[in-house]
Every structure is written in structure tokens, then in C-alpha cells.
């Protein structure tokens, strides 16, 4: 049976599950294909636990961590309300297509409703067809204010 929980990153088992699942994500081509740095492995759980705008959701199957969703609160200026950005999502490959992603997303949506948020946001790589399909089935779509102007693009500048 699958259990979905909001992680307590002070709990060593939850902290280890976070790092283990993030490593699987990072090593996947959709996560960049490169392991987390030693610094990230050693500090990720404690750094996230200090943030009051972050929530980590874990999926367990018979005590094994099989899924992760990390979300962070942002703010919509247009709506003058908070929003939840889903930052990281991973389901172990052998547990995909079993409804775990949907349950993780439902928990993120529940968190957003509890916080009075106006929307959920996330980023996904164009080439990640399975994830794009799954997110679309859950109701996610490209962000646009005016169809004539096109969909928003996700950009970054490394520092």
C-alpha cells in the first residue's frame, strides 16, 4: 500500500529519503544526468527544514521511499495571493504508472488550498513527454496572459 506523507526533515528517515530520491532524479537524463554534489547530499535536508515556505511530500510503499515532491511558496502579484511552485518531482522508475504522481500532486494541491493559494505552478522539460502528459491530465497547461503573446518561457541565469 502507498502512503503519502508530508515529510518531517528532522526525522532521519525522511531526510535520507529526500536525498536518496533527489539523487535518483539528478542522475536521470530529465534531472541532468549528474549526481548531487557532496555539499547538497550533506546539507539538503537541513537547509530545506529551515525554510518555512517549503514542503516536502514523500510516497512510501511498504516502508520504502518511492516518490518525492518538493514545493515552495511564491506569490502572484496579479492575484495578490500566494502560490505553490512544485520544484522537484520524482517517482522511482519501477513504481511509475501506478498513480503515485497523481497522489503526490493531490497532496500539493491540498497544501495550496490550505494556504489560500491561487494556483500551482511547475516547470517541465519539453522532451519529458510522459511527465508533460501526466501534468496535463492533472490540469496543468502552459501559462499565458494573452494567446497572441504566446506561452511564458522558463529562463535562468546561473550565479
Q: What is the pLDDT of residue 120?
A: 98
Task: Phi first, then psi: give them for residue 92, nearest 5 degrees.
Answer: -50, 140
Question: Which residues does residue 70 pair with via DSSP β-bridges, in sequence order?
Answer: 56, 88
**Rounded to the nearest 10 degrees, how much is the dihedral formed by the CA atoms of 24, 99, 108, 57?**
-40
Cα–Cα distance measured from residue 100 to residue 91, given in angstroms and rounded to the nearest whole number:
7
Q: What is the pLDDT of residue 145?
A: 87
Q: What is the pLDDT of residue 102?
A: 97
**Taking the model in full, what pTM does it have?**
0.93
Q: What is the pLDDT of residue 156?
A: 86
If one looks up domain 2-149 in CATH, what number appears?
3.40.630.30
Q: What is the pLDDT of residue 19?
A: 98
Q: How far apart are the first and last CA of the chain?
A: 43
Question: Is the sign of the CA dihedral 117, 119, 125, 131 positive or negative?
Answer: positive
**Rounded to the nearest 10 degrees, how much is the dihedral formed by the CA atoms of 5, 9, 41, 120?**
50
Per-residue pLDDT of 102-116, as tens digits, reads 999 999 999 999 999
Closest residue by Cα to residue 36 from 50, 49, 48, 24: 24
Q: What is each CA distance from 83 to 97, 120, 141, in whole angstroms?
A: 27, 6, 16
Q: What is the pLDDT of residue 153?
A: 84
Low-confidence ranges of the chain (pLDDT < 50): none
Amino acid at each position: 500500500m502507498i502512503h503519502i506523507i508530508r515529510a518531517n526533515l528532522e526525522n532521519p528517515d525522511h531526510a535520507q529519503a529526500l536525498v536518496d530520491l533527489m539523487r535518483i532524479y539528478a542522475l536521470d537524463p530529465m534531472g541532468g544526468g549528474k549526481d548531487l554534489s557532496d555539499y547538497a547530499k550533506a546539507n539538503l535536508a537541513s537547509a530545506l527544514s529551515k525554510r518555512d515556505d517549503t514542503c516536502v511530500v514523500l510516497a512510501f510503499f511498504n516502508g520504502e521511499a518511492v516518490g518525492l515532491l518538493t514545493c515552495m511558496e511564491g506569490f502572484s502579484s496579479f492575484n495578490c495571493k500566494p502560490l505553490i511552485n512544485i520544484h522537484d518531482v520524482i517517482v522511482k522508475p519501477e513504481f511509475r504508472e501506478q498513480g503515485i504522481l497523481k497522489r503526490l500532486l493531490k497532496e500539493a494541491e491540498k497544501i495550496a488550498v490550505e494556504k489560500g493559494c491561487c494556483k500551482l505552478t511547475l516547470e517541465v522539460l519539453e522532451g519529458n513527454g510522459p511527465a508533460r502528459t501526466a501534468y496535463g491530465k492533472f490540469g496543468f497547461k502552459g501559462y499565458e496572459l494573452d494567446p497572441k503573446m504566446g506561452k511564458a518561457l522558463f529562463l535562468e541565469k546561473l550565479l
